[in-house]
Amino acid sequence: MTPPSAAPARDRLRIAIQKSGRLAEPARALLSSCGLSWRESRDRLFCYGETLPVDLLLVRDDDIPGLIADGVCDLGIVGRNVLLEQDGERRGIGRAPAFREWRALGFGGCRLALAVPDGWEWRSVSQLAGKRIATSYPALLSQWLATQCIDAKVVVLSGSVEIAPRLGQADAICDLVSSGATLAANQLKPVQTLIESEAVLAGPEQAFDDVRGELADLLLRRLDGALRIRHSKLLLFQAPRSVLPDLLPLLPDAETPTVMQVDGQDSLALQALCHGALTWQRLEELKRAGARGLMVLPVEGMLA
Ligand code: PRP
Ligand code: ZN
C-alpha cells in the first residue's frame, strides 16, 4: 500500500456526489447550506468551488467509494448501503479498508431488506435455506446469511432485482426499500431488514495530512451546525415568573432558555432554542400553562 505522504499534497478538497438520483439534490443543498458555492463547468461533471477551495465531482453513486479509495476524490456523499457493500467486497478479496463513514447526514433514508413473494407464508429466516436470493448487494447479503448460518444461493444482478422472482431467476430478493412501493408493485413483501441506510459523508480511513485536513475540519464543523439546526427553531415568549416551573417541563428538547426581566412588570421574556418539532399542539399547551406572545423563528445558522 502506498503511504499517504507519498501522494502529491493537494490544496483543494474534492467531494464526489451523485450526478442524478435520489441523493443528488439534497447533497448539493446540504453543502450549499455550509456556505459552499460553485462555478459550473459546461460538462457539469466538475464544479469549481468559489467561496472555498472545495470542488464537486458529479458521478454515479456506485463509483464514489472507489474514487475515495483511489484518492481521486477526498470525500463523498453516498448511501451507507453502497459504502458498506463495497467495503465488504474489498474485505472479501483481502484488501485493506480504504474508506469509512464520517457522518450520517439524515436524508435519503431507506433499508436493505429481504423480500419474498406475497404468497409465501413467512415464519422465519430459516425458510431461506437452499433458496436463490437475487441482489445487487452480494457482500452484505452473504455476510448476513453467514451470521444466520443459512446456506442460500446469492444471485447477483445489477438492477431490476424486483422482477427476478417473476422471471424465475430467484425465489426471494434482497434490495433497498424506501416507500415500499416497488416491492408492492412486484407482489413482494419485506420480511427482514439487514441494514438501515441513509446518506452519509464518506472519507478515507486516515485523516488528511496536508491543507485538506483543515478544509475537511472546517466543513465538518459547518456540517455539524447545519445538521443540528435542521429541525431547530427559536421560541420566544413572555410569562409571569410564577408559572416558569409549569412551563419548562413542556420544553424538554430546549437548550437552557435565556431569561430576561421585562421592565416594570413581574413578567419575564424567554428565548429557547428547541430541537424538536414545535407543533400547534405544543404552542397551545404552553399558552394554557401561562405563556404569552409565543413566536417561533427559523434558525439560519449555528456555530457551537
Ligand atoms: C431503489 C431500489 C428499488 C427502489 C425502492 O432503487 O432498488 O428499486 O429504490 O424504493 P421504494 O421502496 O420507494 O419503491 P434506487 O432508486 O436507489 O435506484 P438504483 O437501485 O438504480 O440505484
Ligand atoms: Zn445506484
* Digitized pLDDT (tens) for each residue of the chain, 304 residues in all: 444 444 556 899 999 999 999 999 999 999 999 999 999 777 789 999 999 999 999 999 999 999 999 999 999 999 999 999 999 999 999 999 999 999 999 999 999 999 999 999 999 999 999 999 999 999 999 999 999 999 999 999 999 999 999 999 999 999 999 999 999 999 999 999 999 999 999 999 999 999 999 999 999 999 998 988 888 899 999 999 999 999 999 999 999 999 999 877 789 999 999 988 899 999 999 999 999 999 999 988 877 7
Q: Which pLDDT score is estimated for 2?
A: 47
Q: Which pLDDT score is estimated for 171?
A: 98
Q: Which pLDDT score is estimated for 195?
A: 97
C-alpha 213 to ligand 2 mean position (Å): 29
CATH topology match: 13-108+199-228 vs 110-197 = yes
Cβ 55 under 6 angstroms from ligand 1: no
Cβ 180 under 6 angstroms from ligand 1: yes
**Which residue, judged by its Cα, is nearest atom 16 of ligand 1?**
22
C-alpha 95 to ligand 1 mean position (Å): 29
C-alpha 76 to ligand 1 mean position (Å): 20
The CATH architecture assigned to 233-298 reads 2-Layer Sandwich (3.30)
Ligand 1 pocket check: which of 63, 136, 178 to mutate, most ligand atoms within 8 Å of Cβ?
Answer: 178
β-pair partners for 47: 40, 56
C-alpha 62 to ligand 2 mean position (Å): 6
- The answer as to CATH 3.30.390.50 being correct for domain 110-197 is no
Cβ 74 under 6 angstroms from ligand 1: no
DSSP count for the chain of H helices, then E strands: 9, 16
For residue 112, which of 66, 89, 143 has the smallest C-alpha distance? 143
Q: How far apart are CA 199 and CA 54, in angstroms?
A: 19
Q: Which pLDDT score is estimated for 5?
A: 47
Q: Which pLDDT score is estimated for 43?
A: 76
Sort 185 into a burial class: Cβ within 10 Å, 0-12 / 13-18 / 19+: exposed
Cα angle, residue 18 at apex, residues 13 and 23 outer, rounded to 5°: 115
- Total Cβ atoms within 10 A of residue 170: 22
pLDDT digits (tens, 9 = 90+) for 195-209: 999 999 999 999 999
Under CATH, domain 13-108+199-228 is a member of which superfamily?
A: Periplasmic binding protein-like II (3.40.190.10)
Please report, as a single letter, which amino acid is at residue 60: R
Cβ 175 under 6 angstroms from ligand 1: yes
Cβ 19 under 6 angstroms from ligand 1: no
- Total Cβ atoms within 10 A of residue 160: 12
Ligand 1 pocket check: which of 59, 63, 176 to mutate, most ligand atoms within 8 Å of Cβ?
Answer: 176
**Which residue, judged by its Cα, is nearest atom 2 of ligand 1?**
176
C-alpha 122 to ligand 2 mean position (Å): 29
Cβ 181 under 6 angstroms from ligand 1: yes
Which residues touch 219 (CB under 8 Å, ≥6 apart)?
13, 34, 36, 54, 75
Q: How far apart are CA 12 and CA 4, in angstroms?
A: 16
Cβ 22 under 6 angstroms from ligand 1: yes
22 CA: nearest ligand 1 atom = 16
CB 297 within 8 A of CB 225: no
* Residue with the three cell numbers 435519503: 108
Q: How far apart are CA 129 and CA 177, in angstroms?
A: 23
**Which residue, judged by its Cα, is nearest atom 21 of ligand 1?**
159
Cβ 96 under 6 angstroms from ligand 1: no
The domain locations on the chain are 13-108+199-228, 110-197, 233-298
pTM, entire model: 0.83
β-pair partners for 175: 113
